[in-house]
Homo-oligomer: A and B are copies of this chain.
Amino acid sequence: MPEGEPVDIAGDGLTTKERRLLPALIVNTGEGKGKTTAAMGLALRAWHQGWSIGVFQFIKSGKWVTGERAALEALGAEHERSGTGGEVEWYATGAGRRWVRKPGAEPGHAHAAREAWAEVASRLAVQRHQLYVLDELTYPLIWGWLDVGEVVATLRDRPGVQHVVVTGRAAPAELVEIATTVTEMTKRKHPFDTGQKGQAGVEW
């Protein structure tokens, strides 16, 4: 995103340094694409800052996520080898099985999501990472696999400066309430979808 020189004074009584240290809770939601990829892009920035990054996948996904995982883990390996960037830990619930759309149909998935959340909560408590990517966390919340109140309270009351990105459709209102940034990704219907052709007179 383009940035000019800062022209606004926040007027919140904080020094620039203190303001920079405010912990972010970013929610990428909506029906469109880009929720997870944007979170992964943030992880690139965090890596360059030398931050410790924890990625937690709450839903088993398809092959694409494997690409993001491989790339971020390669960056983590680069950190191990040369000290460049930050460490990357990837925590995936279960392995290899496909996501199933029916909530409650597979208790194993609910169990895995609860395990993943317990891991996140324990790491937040000890300030293990500087950035947490909680990928697709909204689904176990919506489906009742995780208690929204408990998750929101844990995120809200997390100690220190730990940044969190949550992705997934239909973010619960209570989560939106405590977020510092909420972006809605919306699919614009493609003009061709409705049979519309290029307008006469358009030069191309």
Contacts and interface: CB of A to CB of B under 8 A. Distances in A.
B2 A174 contact: no
Given A185-B34, A204-B153, A74 B78 contact: yes
A156 B198 CA distance: 12
Interface in A148-196: 149-150, 152-153, 156, 174, 176-177, 179-188, 190-191
Given A180-B190, A183-B186, A190-B179, A47 B35 contact: no
A41 to B, nearest CB: 3
Contacts of A84: 74
A68 interface: yes
Nearest to A171: B188
**Contact-size category for A:** 35 or more
A32 interface: yes
Contacts of A33: 1, 26, 38, 181, 183
17 contacts: A2-B59, A2-B60, A2-B62, A2-B136, A32-B185, A34-B35, A34-B41, A44-B67, A47-B67, A47-B71, A48-B66, A48-B71, A71-B75, A181-B187, A181-B190, A183-B188, A184-B185
Interface of A: 1-5, 26, 28, 30, 32-42, 44-49, 59-62, 64, 66-68, 70-72, 74-75, 78, 84-85, 98-101, 136, 139, 149-150, 152-153, 156, 174, 176-177, 179-188, 190-191, 198, 202-204
Given A38-B185, A150-B204, 12 more contacts: A1-B33, A2-B136, A4-B98, A34-B41, A34-B183, A37-B40, A37-B44, A44-B44, A48-B67, A49-B67, A74-B84, A153-B204
